[in-house]
């Protein structure tokens, strides 16, 4: 009988640990309207512990405060992100490519970033050829996250290894566990990835990535987000968090900063 209080305490701690969602954090005023913000597992967005990078958190905290939102941040693979916005009207995605087949699946609120997909290899890799030749060479020897990355590879008929965390994917390529990888270019900007000794062996045209929400996302909340994002200070914070320090080729081939 003397063990009963200790047993209850252990059970309580176990339930608390199981109930805690790994990688989840909340930002914004406690009394704000609750939304879930699904975040891709990229090092530009998340640190190694899968918490928001400081500049991203600063921008989103400003957005949440100004729009009176309590944002629950949830890192997730694209399939989970898409499933969540389809079943939860208060769910959004931070950084979704606006593809034709997705047009009617989400509500597109605002562009947050211009970026491009790149294929990477170790610096010592001898490949030097066209994108078509690279796709033939990469078949069954490339790692890819879910979403647009795999859509591109499937369009070329390329088999791939599924790796969701782009930081881990870059390390796999660097140490030779797999020959190629496909990531967003912003991944290569993070210092620990830049130090791995990788090179870009192929690239796709740059495209816009959006803050997108459920099709049934509340209209009043959507309008508050859109208005705040257009504010000068909010745009300054977004640029600090999201924009690259290098130039990338825009959709028509023009250089865009």
Q: How buried is residue 47: exposed, middle or buried, by Cβ count under 10 Å (0-12/13-18/19+)?
A: middle
Q: What rounded mean pLDDT belongs to the chain?
A: 87
Torsion of CA 241, 247, 250, 254, to 10 degrees: 150
In a domain, 198, yes or no: yes
Q: Is the domain of 29 the same as that of 155?
A: no
**DSSP structure string for 5-73:** HHHHHHHHHHHHHHHS-TT-EEES-TTSEEEEEEE-S-TTTB-TTSPBPHHHHHHHHHHHHHTTEEEEE
pLDDT at 24: 66
d(CA 113, CA 187): 13
Q: At 52, is the pLDDT very low, low, confident or very high (cuts 50, 70, 90)?
A: very high
Query: Does 157 have pLDDT greater than 80?
Result: yes
Instruction: Indicate which CATH number applies to the domain containing 147.
Output: 3.40.190.10
Q: Is the domain of 130 the same as that of 105?
A: no
Q: How far is CA 252 from the centre of its chain?
A: 24
Within 10 A of 200 (CB to CB), how many other CB atoms are there?
13
Task: Decide: 47 and 25 in contact? Cβ < 8 Å.
Answer: no
Within 10 A of 70 (CB to CB), how many other CB atoms are there?
15
pLDDT at 162: 95
Q: What tens digit of pLDDT does each residue of 5-32 get?
A: 444 433 333 333 333 344 469 999 999 9
pLDDT at 244: 60
Q: What tens digit of pLDDT does each residue of 172-214 get?
A: 999 999 999 999 999 999 999 999 999 999 999 999 999 999 9
pLDDT at 241: 93
pLDDT (mean) for 106-128: 95
**Residues of the domain holding 194:** 117-203
In a domain, 253, yes or no: no
Q: How many distinct structural domains can be found in the chain?
A: 2
Q: Is the domain of 172 the same as that of 54?
A: no
Q: At 252, is the pLDDT very low, low, confident or very high (cuts 50, 70, 90)?
A: very low
Instruction: Look at residues 211, 219, 210, 209 and name the one whose alpha carbon lies nearest to residue 89.
Output: 219
């Amino acid at each position: 009988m003397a063990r009963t209080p200790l047993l209850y305490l252990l059970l309580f701690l176990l339930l608390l640990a199981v109930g805690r969602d790994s990688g989840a954090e909340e930002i914004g005023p406690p009394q704000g309207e609750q939304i879930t913000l699904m975040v891709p597992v990229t090092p530009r967005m998340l640190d190694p512990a899968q918490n928001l990078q400081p500049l991203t958190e600063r921008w989103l905290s400003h957005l949440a405060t100004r729009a009176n939102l309590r944002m629950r941040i949830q890192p997730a693979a694209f399939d989970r992100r898409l499933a969540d916005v389809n079943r939860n009207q208060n769910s959004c995605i931070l950084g979704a490519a606006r593809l034709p087949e997705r047009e009617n699946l989400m509500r597109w609120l605002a562009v947050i970033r211009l970026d491009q997909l790149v294929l990477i290899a170790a610096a010592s890799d001898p490949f030097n050829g066209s994108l078509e030749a690279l796709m033939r060479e990469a078949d069954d020897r490339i790692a890819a996250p879910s979403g647009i990355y795999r859509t591109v590879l499937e369009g070329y008929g390329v088999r791939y290894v599924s790796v969701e965390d782009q930081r881990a994917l870059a390390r796999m390529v660097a140490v030779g566990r797999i020959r190629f990888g496909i990531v967003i270019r912003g991944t290569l900007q993070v210092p620990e990835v830049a130090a791995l000794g990788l090179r870009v062996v192929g690239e796709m045209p740059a495209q816009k990535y959006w803050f997108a929400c459920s099709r049934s996302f509340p209209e009043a909340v959507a309008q508050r987000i859109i208005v705040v994002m257009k504010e000068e200070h909010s745009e300054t914070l977004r640029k600090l968090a999201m924009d690259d320090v290098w130039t990338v080729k825009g959709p028509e081939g023009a250089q865009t900063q």
